[in-house]
Structure 1
């Protein structure tokens, strides 16, 4: 029996073969502690330095503005709670959006429990924050705004450049979670105008267990953990050298193939949409029709549960109804609810996300399996 077509790249990606090759010497030969002064430590430290530069090049940053973390969740927590704590004497009002990943919403909830005032911005029917809503929400004591770059469920890209400009005009810092966008579309920190930006290695063909946080030079931020002076004293703990090497290699591959990969992703995403819509005219596209990730197709099937549909089509396609970090089950997506989707639309939603290793055969097989399942469930 052949394995189903993998269309869950927004949950995680396979590790690129070139990334595995880059990691292996640091698992076998270059095992020294990067903080050690001898040859073994220096070799590891040199590898980390190269990787820091490669990640910086992906987003147009300086190498010393990149901090390595264990994952995007850690990076988001460090950005949000670290900045809020550093600026707590200036103000205790922070702002986020209604469609964030749990690794953003939960740190804001923690801040709220600790006495901060939190404003959650609504979104329009496409999942975008309205700049006018941010303008209205800002207060003299606002210190931080955090709005994701691209949504992990529907793929909608936020107007981050405009949002950051508005925040800065009111004296607030701006953080964006770019876990889903980095490696798929151009992400340049100066173009976006952000002060902090989160990356997740396993979303662009590096292993799970490594992330990065861009912190613009001069940004006030405090560490969450106490320890030694690793990562400018903001993330103590011996560096995970093989995984850092991996995210560096993945960043280089993503930067070099960005335009070519985007063409491939859009072509297959749109082919998949056509295959489904031709047979199921009631199919509803969720998210922005244009300002969205090139690899993400979130659609609602009529008169069916998305979870039941995927279970019925499991032999042909591996996908999800939403974020892998939300509670599993047949619970409608909170993102779609924030967008104003009906209960039936939210319940019938399926997220289909493709990658650079996806083929036309994968797309066609997945579409056929979903169409058959839709008529049988």
Structure 2
């Protein structure tokens, strides 16, 4: 049985997409994510980072396109590959970099690291190293938003691997039954760690939402206009008390599952270089820039200015992180336990 609204979109280009000011904001969001991730890639390769990082290079259009519709009061949950979601939702790049560097100035005072960046003041309920854990957190936040009745929405980013977790069925069920303002965003990048999704996933992921009568949009996740359009409809539906929505964004991670994975694979591989190169040609930032300049939506000089400003911001954030104070291990006790009463 197929129920609910189905939308299949590859985007309509700048002519039917965001206005110029919004287009510039989307471009800046994607470029910021890309440059941060490239810096982390290089620092990881140089052995400068204290832990592993899972990079978002190639998937920037999903975070940017969805979060463009969110306000600080709205909620978002993320994954182990969560830097992009944090930045697109308005998280501070300096604080995030410091967190990844395990410094006291970090958003979690250096005690969370790459997979646990969060900022409640921005509605960022946190990245999560447990596959699929954000689904229930976002659904709970959406329940709270519905009780508040003030138009807030919750967004859950999760991967195709997480779609096989039982918690997806549970949260789709309860969110549909109770009409919760939650937007499920499946970033289908084709892999569950080192395994092609086709080898571990039966059927089509969007059909899981359709079975519960949840409206579905299937989009090209490397087309920020398509994502922006689908997310706009989904968020508006949630704000108008129209219940949950489901977006499957088909995309690809250019980097590995995590940096330094070659040591784990011991020289083996799980995808061909030709496949990676094919997806490089569908780079979401290059595509959007080309579309904007070809249609004369914004001058190329404005995009160049954004490129330069973002480069400066990332350099500043990296310097800030490197110069920070190491996290205080004594915080572990106070963060985990309530203080004893006098």
TM-score range, shorter chain: 0.3 to 0.5
TM-score in terms of structure 2 length: 0.34
TM-score in terms of structure 1 length: 0.31
- Larger radius of gyration, structure 1 or 2? 1
